[in-house]
Amino acid sequence: AQSVTQPDIHITVSEGASLELRCNYSYGATPYLFWYVQSPGQGLQLLLKYFSGDTLVQGIKGFEAEFKRSQSSFNLRKPSVHWSDAAEYFCAVGAQDNNAGNMLTFGGGTRLMVKP
């Protein structure tokens, strides 16, 4: 069974500082990996995804993530955080399943707070 761990429940960074959110997964084959962002009271918005190919993927809002197979990680990064980035971030892993295709398993989330 696949699983996702986001070790940091809360992270606080100063505006303009760099950001890295950690995500570790467990899956027996090459996974499909996703990062979603959820603003307060809102649904989930896809930031980026990795299916195959280049292990460094670019997403929206200036985010990027790097797939490292040897470390089973898919950490999310942003070089300079803006106050509007304050939200909850979810990493998810998808596995091929004949019934539902890419069923997603989500991590517990990391809540990002941004200091002025």
Under the rule (CB under 8 A), what is the footprint of other proteins?
Answer: 4, 6, 9, 34, 36, 42-46, 49, 90, 92, 94, 99-109
Nearer to other proteins by Cβ, of 63 and 90: the residue is: 90
| Nearest 10 degrees: Cα torsion 45, 49, 115, 39 | 10
The least distance separating other proteins from the CB of residue 92, rounded to whole angstroms, comes to 8
Nearer to other proteins by Cβ, of 34 and 67: the residue is: 34
In this structure, are residues 42 and 89 in contact, taking their beta carbons and an 8 Å threshold?
no
Nearer to other proteins by Cβ, of 15 and 103: the residue is: 103
**How crowded is the C-beta side of 90, counted as CA atoms within 13 Å?**
17
The least distance separating other proteins from the CB of residue 75, rounded to whole angstroms, comes to 17
Nearer to other proteins by Cβ, of 70 and 99: the residue is: 99
Longest dimension (CA), the chain: 47
The least distance separating other proteins from the CB of residue 82, rounded to whole angstroms, comes to 23
The least distance separating other proteins from the CB of residue 44, rounded to whole angstroms, comes to 4
Residues contacting 43, CB < 8 A, separation 6+: none
The rounded Cα 7 to chain-centroid distance in angstroms is: 12
